[in-house]
Structure 1
Amino acid sequence: MIQPKIIDSINLHSLNKFLSVSDRYYKHKYCVKFTSKEQNLDQRVSFHTNRICMISLGENHTVMKNNKKILKINCSIDNKINRLLNATSGKGKRGAQKLTENSVLCYIECEDGDIYPVYSCVQGKLLEINEHLISNPNLLITNPVSKGYIALILPTLNLYESIKNSMLDADEYSKI
């Protein structure tokens, strides 16, 4: 008796009904407080079920909207702070760089000479900067919610709900 292949038993059209990993485990919110008339600096803050926040560019960010060519991601904030040198250890993430919502995570430097700051949008501890962006900065545009995330942040726990509630959800963001 010949057994049918398992793959033949799967209806490939039904796979489209499942949510992506990003949509399944993250609540996407948008921080628009850094946007001005000159530049749109909207950022997506994805809140994971474990409370870790993933920072990426919002769909209306100038870099995304204009499909700008990114020259590099600069994580040297000043002479003293380099986000790539962040080192955490232990359960409490000792040694992590502390962030306010106004802290700059990095600068996006484009081929046309424009430079865009990326803010943390969340008060907490920097867990990591996505090092893949150093070698392939255009992941910011091509895969913003997966391989092109900018940073992971552990928010200050007693501020978690207020941080989350201060941002726009996807429906509110789509209306602006």
Structure 2
Amino acid sequence: MQPRMQVLQGDITTLEVDVIVNAANSSLLGGGGVDGAIHRAAGPELLKACQQVRQQQGECPPGHSVITTAGNLRAKAVIHTVGPVWHGGGEHEARLLEDAYRNSLLLAEANGYTSIAFPAISTGVYGYPKPAAAEIAVNTVSAHLIRRPQLQQVLFVCFDAETAHLYQHLLTQQGEESAK
């Protein structure tokens, strides 16, 4: 049996999962990093869907998530979540990052999806320290999966080997602790 949480190093836009998560900015209209890559790969349909969401509800604040179609991606949908900008840890960044992961998971479940792929939210231009962000991601997803069985596969998709190693180490450590 395959573990429900796995780490991959690669391009999140190429995955065939129900949902990929976009580390979006609050405008939802594309940007740099993974956000720009997802928008480019998905094509103009994704931008149009994001514009509609923005017209209906305005900007998406940190910690919140919205769902759209996936355009040209192999995924069925894209969940856009806004992580916090790192300001040293004193402005509720950890709680906002937990909320971004948790709200994405809840939104995927609410739409009947069973597989989801996450990038390392807030660790690019938003400056969140990668080790702390990885720990929040793994702990938040793990706690969620214990209580809620709907999601069968959660992938942490890392752009580089350093980040993939951080996530893999945390998952291995967590597996060892749960085996005790």
Bigger relative contact order (CA 8 A; separation at least 6) = 2
TM-score w.r.t. structure 1 length? 0.27
For normalisation by structure 2, the TM-score amounts to 0.27
Greater fraction helix: 2
The structure with the largest alpha-carbon Rg is 1
More strand by share: 1
